[in-house]
Amino acid sequence: MKISKRDTVFIVIVAIVITFLTLGAKERTTKAVPDDAIHDKATSREQCMACHGADGVKPQPLGHPKANQCFQCHKQPDHWVGGTVKTK
């Protein structure tokens, strides 16, 4: 197969797009849930929101997503009691 000038341009564009997607994904990482005594034992959204609701000690920032699955975006603590992966 002969690689034409057009193919080269196409390959370069694909490489640039992949680079930007990779960098973008890195920038979007959210803060992990702290692996401390409080967070290891909080197992319901109600518990999280008691402290992270608008009147809590550390409210979520303005415009925070309304989503409930906290660990989908904030990494679950390594010693979380509700965890299924590590039991010890």
Residues 19-78 that bind ligand HEC (CB under 6 A): 30-31, 33-34, 36, 38-39, 42, 45, 47-52, 57-58, 60-61, 64-65, 67-70, 72-74
Nearer to ligand HEC, 73 or 83 (CB): 73
Instruction: Quote the least distance from Cβ 8 to ligand HEC, whole Å.
Output: 38
Instruction: Quote the least distance from Cβ 24 to ligand HEC, whole Å.
Output: 14
Under 8 Å between Cβ of 52 and 58: yes
Q: How far is CA 73 from CA 6, 9, 11, 40, in A?
A: 40, 37, 33, 16
Nearer to ligand HEC, 11 or 23 (CB): 23
d(Cα 56, Cα 47) in Å, to the nearest integer? 11
User: Residue 22's Cα: distance from chain center in Å?
Assistant: 14
